[in-house]
Copies of this chain bind each other. A is one copy, B any other.
Amino acid sequence: MSGITLTPIGLIRTPYQKTEGMPIQPAGAAQTPGQVIVDAAFEEGLDDLDGFSHIILLYQFHHANGYDLKVTPFLDTQRRGLFATRAPRRPNPIGLSVVALTRREGNVLHVAGIDVLDGTPLLDIKPFVPAFDAPAVTAVGWMAGQLDRTASTRADTRFQQPSGHKD
């Protein structure tokens, strides 16, 4: 299949300068404030967004190199299939975070509960709509029983190392 080329539309500013010690999900970032700085050329596209309490950010895991198809997630001690985890090292390293939108100021979105590295390249913004995005979940697989630790678990460097093999 042919490749798809994406170009960042802005970047995300956060207090996190390195992966180590970073919250592993917005749940662990609590009210961590951040700014989504959208390139001025796209500013008009942000109109009407400030009516939504939450937004979906799609971004590049720009510090992730390569991937392995089996990984040991931060929340677990066993190896799991990569696609059953939220690990950043993926065939297509696209991250997704749902954050609270607190204020729009021109081309800048002030958000809360952000869990990405400072300088993360932004790919897309979508409004979070419960009717579309919040189904009636009945099972969370291997994460059952692990989620209590989300808020207190911090990242380490395990997903940063360049990987020679990509099995």
Contact between chains at A51 and B140 (CB < 8 Å): yes
Contact between chains at A58 and B7 (CB < 8 Å): no
Assembled-state Cα–Cα distance A91/B4 (Å): 12
A44 and B27 in contact, given A98-B135, A127-B140, A134-B130 (Cβ under 8 angstroms) = no
Contact of A127 among B52, B126, B138, B143 (CB under 8 A): B143
Contact between chains at A92 and B58 (CB < 8 Å): yes
Q: Which residues of B contact A138 (CB under 8 A)?
A: 53
* Surface stretch bound by B, among A14-22, A77-85, A154-162: A77-85
Q: Which residues of B contact A131 (CB under 8 A)?
A: 25, 27, 147, 150
Copies of this chain in its oligomeric complex? 2
Q: How far in angstroms is the closest Cβ of chain B from A78?
A: 9
Q: Which residues of B contact A60 (CB under 8 A)?
A: 4
CB within 8 Å of B: which A99-144 residues = 100, 113, 121, 123-135, 137-144
Contact between chains at B133 and A129 (CB < 8 Å): no
Give 8 pairs: A residue, B residue, CB < 8 Å, sorted on A. Answer: A1-B7, A25-B129, A47-B81, A83-B127, A86-B127, A98-B132, A128-B135, A129-B140
